[in-house]
Amino acid sequence: MPPKPIPPETLALRRQNSLTLFTRWRLQEIAQGRPGGDKAFSAMLGISNAQWSRIKSGTPVGPKLARQIEAACGVEPGGLDVPQDAAAGQTAEAPHPIDLAAALGLSRPDTFVVQMHGPSMTGKGLDDGDLLVVDPAIVPRHGHTVVARMDHEPCCRTLYQRDGQTRLQAAHPDFADTATEDGSTPALYGVVTAVVKRLAV
């Protein structure tokens, strides 16, 4: 007898919950000063980086792989097949946490998180240690806060594009703007769409 087909809603939950688990793990890794990249996460799951990329892109997660992901992430068996609040034992009257991955846009493929280093963007409210959510799919425009490659290192700046001029603007007097010679768009990793701040406790 052939196996029963998996309902589409279950497959959708498995993918969404897998991305949520990845987001939680990644934020924890970054908070510990580690990159929190896809390769390290896929290694923790016991799968290849290419397989994890396919899952992020929408490849269905079968029962065996779902149980493997749950075990690696400390989730009860079957947890990927139900909404996260149900998996966590929430009740209707209990405080209902938001879906952090969905709220920050991290459920979309390729969106990632980097940590802000230094005071170069304090004038825009971005402080050292903040976590920046970066979406490489957004077409960068004048005024966008972007993560760019400068001197082979990522940095956060404001994109200026006016009157045939293109430059990356800091938001701190100690940091000079960086202009491109021909007005072309500099090498960008993506547009910053959200920021997560750590509060002193």
Q: Class for domain 8-97, per CATH? A: mainly alpha
Note if the pTM is more than 0.75.
no
Tell me which long-range contacts 48-55 makes (C-beta under 8 A, separation of at least 24). 55/15, 55/18
% of the chain residues with pLDDT over 90: 36
Mean confidence (pLDDT) of the chain: 83
Q: What is the DSSP letter of 162?
A: E
How many other C-beta atoms lie within 10 A of the C-beta of residue 148?
Answer: 19
CATH number of 112-196: 2.10.109.10
List the single range of 18-27, 51-60, 137-146 with lowest mean pLDDT.
18-27
Domain with CATH 2.10.109.10 in the chain: 112-196
Which pLDDT score, from 0 to 100, does residue 21 have?
Answer: 87
List pLDDT tens digits, range 103-133.
Answer: 777 777 788 889 999 999 999 999 998 999 9
Q: How many residues does the chain have?
A: 201
Q: Could you give phi then psi for residue 109, rounded to 5 degrees?
A: -55, 145
Strand order in the sheet with 131-135: 112-115, 131-135, 188-196, 145-150, 153-162, 165-169, 178-179
Q: What are phi and psi of 36, to 5 degrees?
A: 65, 45
CATH 1.10.260 in the chain is located at 8-97
Which pLDDT belongs to residue 143? 95
Q: Rounded mean pLDDT of 59-69?
A: 92
Which pLDDT band holds residue 88 (cuts at 50, 70, 90)? very low
Cβ within 8 Å of residue 47, ≥6 positions away: 65, 68
| pLDDT on residue 12 | 87
Split at pLDDT 50, 70, 90, the class of 94 is very low
Question: For residue 90, what pLDDT is reported?
Answer: 39
DSSP state letter for 172: S
Q: What is the mean pLDDT of the segment spanning 21-50?
A: 82
Q: What pLDDT sits at residue 64?
A: 93
Whole-number Å distance between alpha carbons of 111 and 19? 11
Return the SS3 of 30.
helix
